[in-house]
Amino acid sequence: MTNAPQLTPLVAVTADVKDVDNYRWHAAAETYVKAVTIGLAGIPVIVPSLGDALDIDRLLERVDGVLVTGSRSNVHPPLYGAEADAASEPYDHARDATTLPLIRAAIRHGVPLLAICRGFQELNVALGGTLISEVQDLPGRSDHRAPVSNDQAERFAIRQDVVITTGGCLGRIVDAEAFKVNSLHRQAVGTLAEGLTVEAVAPDGTIEAVSVTGAAGFAVGVQWHPEYWVATDAPSGRLFRAFGDAMRARIAARGSYQAAAE
Ligand SMILES: N[C@@H](CCC(=O)NCCCC(=O)O)C(=O)O
């Protein structure tokens, strides 16, 4: 996929904080940054989780979209009124302090937003919703965790059904009523935030995708991982292309580009 240079979206990609070799790193998994290049011909820019030291409003003036990534860490339960406990670890407080205000600001400014897995959960928490933990242990729920394997392709295998909400924005994007996705999560939406619309559910009722109700632009969250098979899985590719199209439309509408000389 190629596009005119002036319509190449700059995409803010959220970072996890990791302590390795006596250094603190702010990192994003390669699958997310590659999906920005492969899936929408954009330029990923990893945004460090610096919390209130990050001028989010100025950042959002300079980027064309926000991709909130997945992570093995969990949102700190007190952020949605629950008790922290060892079972909910690991946490990433610096990431929480960055992504929650970033999500709210992106929605406020109408910056296209795609939230994946933990990012989907952060979207719900950022707007006032809650999460449930160890969903596989709850009555009537299935196991949404990754298959036990050292092979990432096996862990991210596409295997779980989701049913799309009829007439929703996600259905228009993926042009399907039901399809299979991968699933690598222990937590799930508990109370859905006001201002979110359910776009897909799993057979056990777990909310699998949402959109921001009445959002000025593209604002979608999915519990699964479209980034992983973006090049080969049709719904994944369509979702990333729609994200890219929304960013390009916003660039054009903002007139923030000078047509390059032919
Ligand atoms: N930690 C949360 C969110 C899950 C998530 O984002 N998973 C992505 C990483 C998957 C992996 O490599 O294990 C939860 O568990 O619900």
CA of 1 to the centre of ligand 1 (A): 29
Walk me through the domains of the chain, giving residue ranges and CATH numbers: 4-261 (3.40.50.880)
Q: Give the nearest ligand 1 atom to 146 CA.
A: 13
pTM: 0.96
Q: What is the pLDDT of residue 255?
A: 81
Which ligand 1 atom minimizes the distance to the CA of 69? 6
CA of 231 relative to ligand 1 center, distance in Å: 21
For residue 95, give the H/E element and its range. helix 93-109
Judged on CB neighbours under 10 Å (0-12, 13-18, 19+), 208 is buried
Angstrom CA distances, 76 to 132, 149, 168, stand at 12, 27, 30
ipTM higher than the 0.95 cut: yes
Q: 112 C-alpha vs ligand 1 centroid, how far in Å?
A: 23
SS3 5: helix
Q: What is the pLDDT of residue 32?
A: 99
Contact criterion met (CB below 8 Å) for 166 and 177 = yes
Choosing from 13, 74, 120, 184 the residue with most ligand 1 atoms within 8 A of its CB, the one to mutate for a pocket test is 184
Residue among 15, 65, 57, 61 at smallest CA distance from 41: 65
Residue 3's pLDDT is 56
Query: Exposed e or buried b for every residue in 173-197, given b needs 16+ CB within 10 A?
Result: bbeeeebebbbbbbbbbbebbebbb
Residue 77: closest CA among 4, 206, 186? 186
2 three-state secondary structure: coil
Pocket of ligand 1 (CB under 6 A): 70-74, 117-118, 121, 146, 184-187
List, in sequence order, every residue forming a beta bridge with 222; answer none if it has no partner: 116, 209
- pLDDT tens for each residue of the chain, 262 residues long: 455 667 899 999 999 999 999 999 999 999 999 999 999 999 999 999 999 999 999 999 999 999 999 999 999 999 999 999 998 899 999 999 999 999 999 999 999 999 999 999 999 999 999 999 999 999 999 999 999 999 999 999 999 999 999 999 999 999 999 999 999 999 999 999 999 999 999 999 999 999 999 998 899 999 999 999 999 999 999 999 999 999 999 999 988 554 554 5
**Nearest CA owner, ligand 1 atom 4:** 185
